[in-house]
Amino acid sequence: MSSLIYPSSRARSERAIGLSRVVLASTASLALWLEQAPPTPHRQLVYALYSAYSVYSAILVMWSFWGDTTGSWPFVTHAVDIVIFSTFQYLTLGPSSPFFVFFLFSVFCGGMRWGWRGTLSTGALVICAYVGITAVSEARSSAPGFELNSFIIRLAYLAVATGLLVHLGRYEARLRLEIEKLARWPAPLADEHDAGVGRMLEYGAQLMQAGCVLVIWEEADEPKMHEARWVHGAVTVATLPPSRLRITTDPELDSATFLSTGTVREAHAIALADHAGRLVRREGMPLPTSILDRL
């Protein structure tokens, strides 16, 4: 029996990084070739180093498709990129170098590989590298004048990009944790029905950050209803006659899924899931007072 092995998210990230690296290297190579005036005293050295880096980028992207990119691969390639980008930055106009965009590329790569922590550490590292390169370049430069505006703006670019990516990474990590929690519902034990129901209600309350959870259900071939309510750690389970409680005031919604995002007693509209799975706005709250009183 044959099987399909899908690439892991890490492998896909390394492929995306490799392809992006090749695009940046190719674009910068074209810009250097089109530039007629010598941008720096190290023009020939920059050409040689960048040609080598272009070949290096092509090799990396090919390896990302057919080789092993686990283990220390991400860390080593990430460190090599930052060192190479810092070298280009220093050799080409220092704080005004057109290779500044590669620092932003490194910050994005850190986020893709290690989440918001990778973004934060990479951002702090490239900011320190940029400040250090600027200080050394200005100390060794004989040309008068320091482009303070360019330096401050680019430093702000790095700080803002790092901050936004850290925020996005932490948001993504929180969503991932919530999804993992949804897949880890506690399994009720057969001999502890009420306790098992209480554990599930408490778990659902923690997921939704709710102070009260109410579940009402019927079992097949039983002329009665069951109610379980969790309120701040206390669980009550009761059995009700079938005519004692009605779930909705609209018979059309007895088997439908709907939700209200506002305060239940003050809500005048709900979002109703139709047969196609779409949410449709509908006026009126279909819950009777007997249900609302329990909430």
Q: Name the percent of the chain in helix, strand, coil, to the closest 5.
A: 60, 10, 30
What is the C-alpha separation between 269 and 254, in angstroms, rounded?
A: 17
What is the C-alpha separation between 17 and 61, in angstroms, rounded?
A: 8
Spatial strand order in the sheet of 279-283: 257-259, 269-273, 279-283
Instruction: Give residue 110's pLDDT band: very low, low, confident or very high (50, 70, 90).
Output: very high
279 Cβ neighbours under 8 A, 6+ residues apart: 271, 272, 273
- Kindly report, residue by residue over 177-206, the tens digit of the pLDDT: 888 887 777 776 655 677 788 888 888 888
What's the predicted TM-score (pTM) here?
0.68
183 Cβ neighbours under 8 A, 6+ residues apart: none
Yes or no: say if 24 and 102 are a contact pair by the CB < 8 Å rule.
yes
Tell whether the model's pLDDT for residue 240 goes beyond 50. yes
Tell whether the model's pLDDT for residue 32 goes beyond 70. no
Yes or no: say if 242 and 228 are a contact pair by the CB < 8 Å rule.
no
Instruction: Give residue 119's pLDDT band: very low, low, confident or very high (50, 70, 90).
Output: very high
Helix axes 73-91, 101-140, angle to 10 degrees: 40
Computed over every residue of the chain, the mean pLDDT equals 80
What is the C-alpha separation between 113 and 67, in angstroms, rounded?
A: 17
- Kindly report, residue by residue over 47-69, the tens digit of the pLDDT: 788 888 889 999 999 988 888 88
